[in-house]
Chain A
């Protein structure tokens, strides 16, 4: 199996198996345009992100061997929850964002879907304030808009609700 070399933003080089490298639409485009022997430069990707991506691929391959299901080929959206949980626990919110961005850039559909799912899980069942912290946004409503929102959304909340 041919190996493809990539170089991340901090100069580190990684080797990927060709079929896995092709999962990334971006890398695939590069490979199609250039020789397979060239090192592909990924200035937008950090090495820790690359490590995570490789970890993902490795895990998927393990699962495919174990369960005999070609997750990648079937473009199976979400994997086993145990795997997801494991992937989740090392990722801080910030790292998840970075990884999401990178994976989106690289165009790795399967991983992207899983990461979106992870992000969604982190967003659910939270208070408004926690969501704001998670998204890194500020309250930007005018007082009129705020009053409108209270009126608009009062139907949805029974328990501890919109703060402020």
Chain B
């Protein structure tokens, strides 16, 4: 198999239309193929096809096409990761805003409800007074009469107008509450949507959702898996509280891991 001469293999690699990943794979197989697939013309071809819009590097003979490719690839990937993380942050702050609004509505609802109850109590008192004053117009047993007189005399404000005002207030409260409830529902819906969007932004089909079972100890031996994560968007469950960290290097991943944080790998 490997008895094919180098020139033939070179031809295979040239003709083949290999991607950067394929070339890297071939390179990893053994020394000979590393040499064959590392050749500059293969990588400069990839450079010009994958990163055509990037301005050409000021040529320096010490920079191979392959290392240049790697550089551009990483920059590009880092850019994408950064953009994705910004989007995640925006979405998260949107959610926080929704939650804040919901809390606000809840507190106003509580206030209005409290007010409504107080108004109802007031109303019922005034109804009592009115009933009492009406009853005084008809004949009643003395004891009852006495009590009713007491109720009427204790009330110092004009009953009818107060009743009217209270009824208005009650209606207003109910209106407010209904309005607030609707606003709450709407806000809740918006929150739900935003949370769904965040969820789908975080989703990565290749990632295993097993949480690390024994946390810290296994971390360093799992450096391979961490490297696997390197190119992915980093929406780990610890993201919210540590969102200021841009996770673009394995060192930082190891740092995270050593704190035994729950990680979606």
Contact = CB atoms under 8 A, between A and B. Distances in A.
Interface of A: 77, 93-94, 97, 100-101, 104, 112-113, 116-117, 119-121, 123-128, 131-132, 134-141, 145, 149-150, 153-162
B57 interface: no
B29 A128 contact: yes
Nearest to B66: A152
Contact of B232 (A94, A116, A119, A158): A158
Q: Is the interface of A mostly helix, strand, loop or mixed?
A: helix
Interface string B1-29: 11111001001110111111110111111
The listed residue with most B CB atoms (<10 A of its CB), out of A77, A113, A120, A149, is: A120
B1 A135 contact: yes
Interface residues of B, number: 40
A86 to B, nearest CB: 19
A113 B17 CA distance: 13
Nearest to B225: A161
Given A100-B8, A113-B11, A137-B33, 16 more contacts: A93-B1, A120-B13, A120-B18, A123-B16, A131-B28, A131-B33, A141-B30, A141-B31, A155-B70, A156-B21, A157-B231, A158-B230, A158-B231, A159-B206, A161-B227, A161-B228
The listed residue with most B CB atoms (<10 A of its CB), out of A126, A141, A156, A158, is: A156
20 contacts: A101-B4, A116-B8, A116-B12, A117-B15, A117-B16, A121-B16, A123-B22, A124-B16, A124-B19, A131-B26, A131-B29, A137-B33, A139-B30, A140-B31, A149-B34, A155-B70, A155-B73, A155-B77, A155-B231, A156-B70
Nearest to B16: A120
A141 B73 CA distance: 26
A156 B32 CA distance: 20
Contacts of B17: 120, 124
A113 B8 contact: no
A140 B24 CA distance: 16
